[in-house]
């Protein structure tokens, strides 16, 4: 059964990688998409591709670090489609480096995008999900949100935070009877633009070698997002660890 058809799905970080692959797959399955990211030209291209295949999609230039942008995104989705069923909080960066490199500006950027970006998205969408007593929040964490890795102290800390936020959201929603479903995804080596944000030379070299050997396509993660959305409303499949079969993460 296709329970995705007709659902209104917001995707942040939709201009490339996992977000883009998920948008293309969900469009094929009949979802109505609202794509969000900072690169509006790239979003426009993806929307055009979806529409050419008779899919439904719009986009909204969004900086997830700004609460007002997140609220504007929610308002735009309701203006276009009248409701919101799912939000996929997928925006994130991964400028890995050892703590001793003291790249404090990058630490702040990761906190602002990877944690605060999720919080701003939740703050914007939860009033609607609570009032309608339904909705689904999906978030991209990382295997670095499950275990510690050198060069990923701050990145991992942000992804551990996402893990905790999502688990508490699931528990509180059950206690409060709001029927909000959650799904947290912990990807390993998925070939996206994440590596482009690494400025530390040694960290970049190591990560590029790892991904070159093991990396798999982001559409593998898109399949999991679709699986989570397609579950019956009374079923919450809340955690997925996903990576290459060949990678001993």
What residues act catalytically? 155
Q: Quick check: 146 and 163 in contact, CB under 8 A? A: yes
Look at the block and give the residue holding tokens 């899919």: 55
Partners of 220 in beta bridges: none
d(CA 7, CA 184): 19
Q: Quick check: 137 and 125 in contact, CB under 8 A? A: yes
Provide the H-helix boundaries in the chain: 17-28, 40-52, 67-81, 104-110, 117-132, 153-176, 201-214, 219-229
Give me 10's structure tokens.
């917001």
Q: List the strands of the sheet with 8-12, edge to edge.
A: 56-61, 32-37, 8-12, 86-89, 135-140, 180-187, 239-242
d(CA 31, CA 246): 32
């Amino acid at each position: 059964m296709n329970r995705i058809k007709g659902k209104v799905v917001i995707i942040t970080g939709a201009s490339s990688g996992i977000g883009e692959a998920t948008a293309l797959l969900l469009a094929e399955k009949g979802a109505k998409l609202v794509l969000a990211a900072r690169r509006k030209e790239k979003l426009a291209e993806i929307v055009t591709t979806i529409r050419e295949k008779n899919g439904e999609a719009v986009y909204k230039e969004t900086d997830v670090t700004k609460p007002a942008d997140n609220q504007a995104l929610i308002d735009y989705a309701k203006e276009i489609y009248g409701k919101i069923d799912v939000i996929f909080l997928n925006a994130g960066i991964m400028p890995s480096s050892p703590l001793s490199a003291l790249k404090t500006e990058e630490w702040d950027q990761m906190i602002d995008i990877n944690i605060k970006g999720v919080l701003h998205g939740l703050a914007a969408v939860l009033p609607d999900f609570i009032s309608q007593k339904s909705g689904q929040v999906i978030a991209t964490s990382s295997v670095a949100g499950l275990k510690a890795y050198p060069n990923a102290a701050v990145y991992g800390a942000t992804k551990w935070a996402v893990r905790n936020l999502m688990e508490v959201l699931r528990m509180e929603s059950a206690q409060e009877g709001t029927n909000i479903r959650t799904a947290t995804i912990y990807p390993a080596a998925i070939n996206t633009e994440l590596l482009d944000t690494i400025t530390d030379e040694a960290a970049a070299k190591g990560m590029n070698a790892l991904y070159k050997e093991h990396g798999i396509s982001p559409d593998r993660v898109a399949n999991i997002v679709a699986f989570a959305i397609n579950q019956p409303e009374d079923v919450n499949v809340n955690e997925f660890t996903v990576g290459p079969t060949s990678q001993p993460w």
